[in-house]
Amino acid sequence: MNPVLSTVRSNSTDETVIEIDGVKKQYRLGTIGGGTLKGDLQSWWARVRGKEDPNSKVDAKMYTKNEKFMALNGVSFTVKKGETIGLIGGNGAGKSTLLKLLSRVTAPTEGEIRIKGRISSMLEVGTGFHPELTGRENIYLNGAILGMKRREVDERIEDIIEFSECRKFIDTPVKRYSSGMFVKLAFSVAAHLNSDIMLMDEVLAVGDMAFQKKCIDKMVSVARDEGKTIIYVSHNMQTIRQLCSRSIVLRKGEVIFDGDVERGIDIYLRNDEVTAKLFNDYTDCHRFNFLTDKVLMDSLEVLDKDRCYYTDGEKVKFRLKMHCNEDVSELSLRFMIHNADQVVIATGACYNFTGCKKGESFEHTFELDITPLASGVYKVLPALFELNELGEVIDCDGVYPGLVFEHAKTTPLNWKSKLYGDVTLTDIVCLD
């Protein structure tokens, strides 16, 4: 996986608050121990005498007792103060395990985590609420569980009640609450925590839309205005987009991507399974049958680069090898550029660059200026075509994706393609 420049938001500082260093977490597969003392003693006694374990299952081939499962397999990254990080990954990728390690619910098998400042987790909303206690009592209880002093809760209780929208019921036992109220109250407590680093696991998945929005706004302001660091786990990409300034994608216990949120989400959604290659061989590619096949492309090779990664001002230079099946007088090339959502967003062309005779093999070198493209990963459909007398396009050949590249463009605006689009126009000029 290519490393990518991470977008640094203005509010994050250089101070590192979390350092995760080669962390591994191992679980044993199958049932742990015999479950009963007797079973374990039996197994132990059998081992001592060198006999077969009477408790080993006959068909226990799938999980032998010592088979290990690495929930996290060497995860390392650092987090700076004020960053909001979205942890993305499929089920079993190790997100929750990582949060558990960070919140000290369990210890890593290997590696070390160093934390600066107070850390608190909102792993599941309402953990530690007691149904018999009133809303107000539960605020104190939950605050204490999350590590707040009584005095600290006193200072915040008005804000918490106000935010929760439960003032009317605050002195009613929470067992009488609707689930929505329960969640609102629980979130309010957690959102007003006096900690430097907050861990959140799917907490916003509950509550009505209006409240969810309120929660996200609150978290954004907590991160931006109070300089808190947030690590957020969710399967809801929309909330990750809204909240996070950086994403870390986990797969099978390893970090496969660390950086820009949109890219992270794309990778998680497996939108760029086709990796960026320098040499793209087209000989065995599937072609559409409406193509004339008069001229076919053999390969596309990226020049002057060691990977398909372009920064400001760099141009895509490539060599295209072709062979001719039928005479063509004027051949043109166009580059149709698609974004990660497979939507075509721009096209560049080179008109009438050559003609060819049947049986000929030839190559040309081209250069494409991609300055207008915003940061992101793009897939190109290169196509060879002719223009007939009426100006109509007749396609000879086309391959998709014929080239995958990444463009990193710095803009004063923290460019989010989902918000602003994939093309950056030249700056507006102020005329006065």
Partner 1 sequence: MKNNSEWTTVIKPKAGWFDINLKELWHYRDLIFMFLKRNFNSAYKQTVLGPLWFLISPLLSSATYTIVFGHIARISTDGVPQFLFYMCSNAAWGYFSACLSSTASTFTSNAYLFGKVYFPRLVSPVTTVIYGLLSFVIQMLLFTVCSVVLAARGQYIHPNIYMLYLPLMIAQMALLGLGVGIIISSVTTKYRDLTILIGFGLQLWMYATPVVYPISQVASIAPWFQRLIWLNPVAPIMNNFRYAILGCGSFNYTYWGISWIVTALFLFFGVLIFSRVEKTFMDTV
Minimum CB separation from partner 1 for residue 24, in Å? 9
Q: Establish if 47 lies at the interface with partner 1 (CB under 8 A).
A: no
Cα–Cα distance, 150 to 143 (Å, whole number): 8
Cα–Cα distance, 229 to 80 (Å, whole number): 8
Total chain residues near partner 1 (CB under 8 A): 50
Among residues 5, 40, 344, 357, which is the contact residue for partner 1, using CB under 8 A?
A: 40
Q: Establish if 144 lies at the interface with partner 1 (CB under 8 A).
A: yes
Cα–Cα distance, 380 to 404 (Å, whole number): 6
Contact of 150 with 140, CB cutoff 8 Å: yes
**CA-based R_g, the chain, Å:** 29
Q: Establish if 100 lies at the interface with partner 1 (CB under 8 A).
A: yes
Among residues 43, 76, 103, 292, which is the contact residue for partner 1, using CB under 8 A?
A: 103
Cα–Cα distance, 402 to 293 (Å, whole number): 16
Interaction mask 350-379, partner 1, x per CB under 8 A: ------------------------------
Angle ∠(231,233,237) on CA atoms, nearest 5: 115
- Stretch in the footprint of partner 1 (CB under 8 A) among 118-126, 270-278, 309-317, 341-349: 118-126
Q: Establish if 176 lies at the interface with partner 1 (CB under 8 A).
A: no
Minimum CB separation from partner 1 for residue 73, in Å? 15
DSSP strand E in 81-160: where? Answer: 84-88, 110-115, 119-122
Among residues 64, 106, 311, 410, which is the contact residue for partner 1, using CB under 8 A?
A: 106
Angle ∠(362,365,293) on CA atoms, nearest 5: 45
Interaction mask 122-141, partner 1, x per CB under 8 A: -xx--xx-x-xx---x--xx
Minimum CB separation from partner 1 for residue 125, in Å? 10
Interaction mask 5-24, partner 1, x per CB under 8 A: -----------x--x-----
The DSSP element (H or E) to which 324 belongs, if any, is: strand 315-324
Instruction: Please enumerate in sequence order all residues whose Cβ is within 8 A of that of 171, keeping only pairs 6 or more positions apart, or say none.
Output: 134, 135, 136
Of 101 and 185, nearer to partner 1 (C-beta) is: 101
CB atoms inside a 10 Å sphere around CB 151: 7
Among residues 12, 121, 234, 339, which is the contact residue for partner 1, using CB under 8 A?
A: 121
Question: Cα 6 to chain center, whole Å?
Answer: 12
The DSSP element (H or E) to which 357 belongs, if any, is: none
Among residues 8, 11, 27, 76, which is the contact residue for partner 1, using CB under 8 A?
A: 27
- Report the interface residues with partner 1, using CB under 8 A: 16, 19, 27, 32-33, 35-38, 40, 100-121, 123-124, 127-128, 130, 132-133, 137, 140-141, 144-150, 173
